[in-house]
Amino acid sequence: MEYGATLEELASRNPAYYRIYALGEFATLDKLVYPHAEKRLIAPEETEGLKFWVGLDFGYVNDPSAIVWGYYDDRERVIYVTGEYVKTGMLNDEIAATIRTLGLSKEIIIADSAEPKSIEELKRAGLRRVRPSRKGPDSVTHGVQWIGQSRLIVDERCTHTIEETENYTWRKDKKTGEYLNEPEDTFNHCLDAMRYGLQSVTGERRMQTMSKSLLGL
């Protein structure tokens, strides 16, 4: 991708990031983590030939389990969310049965690595391609920044994911009133599942944010 095109696309995808990382200006981060997420019907032909991903975030009583899937265009850096299944109170055998019913049992599924027991139970239930997500220092921040530098399109039928994109916000510094570069841990079950799933198609050890060298800084 050409240098000028890279900056132009970053400016349209996330103006706050563009002002901070490309122009070197101070900019208050937008309240929403993904303020430019697009919500519309995604036609099947839009995703033909693209990389398919599936992510799983575990929940139970208070928080739902979320299975989210879609496609990734690595050339144009576009994320498509085309399907979701969200439900509370699911035991792991029900999650496994749901994955089979959805026709996803043969796909690589990246699940929350904080639940190793659940991942092992899914594997024993026949879902051999379930893998733990990669986590490390600031992995959430790196992941959401990486996604924020991409174009995100959510199918209008994925109502839970859309609700989260409209409510997933950055944490606010109580002293300064500024929004911090760290998201709140709420309205993020589908979005966490998306972030996990994308790890299978990025081709990187972890999601990296745009480097200053790429921006010519």
Which domain CATH number covers 148?
3.30.420.280
Over residues 32-53, the mean pLDDT reads 96
* pLDDT digits 0-9 by tens, 43-94: 999 999 999 999 999 999 889 999 999 999 999 999 999 999 999 999 999 9
Q: Which domain holds residue 95?
A: 3-215
In this structure, of 29-33, 90-94, 171-175, the range with the lowest mean pLDDT score is 29-33
Asked if pLDDT for residue 212 goes beyond 80, the answer is: no
Count of structural domains within the chain: 1
Question: Whole-number mean pLDDT of the chain?
Answer: 85
Question: Do 140 and 168 touch, CB atoms closer than 8 A?
Answer: no
Question: What does the alpha-carbon distance between residue 37 and residue 217 come to, in Å, rounded to a whole number?
Answer: 27
Q: Distance of alpha carbon 190 from its chain centroid, rounded? A: 8
pTM: 0.81
For CA atoms 198, 201, 202, 205, the dihedral sign is positive
Report residue 95 as tokens.
Answer: 């999650």
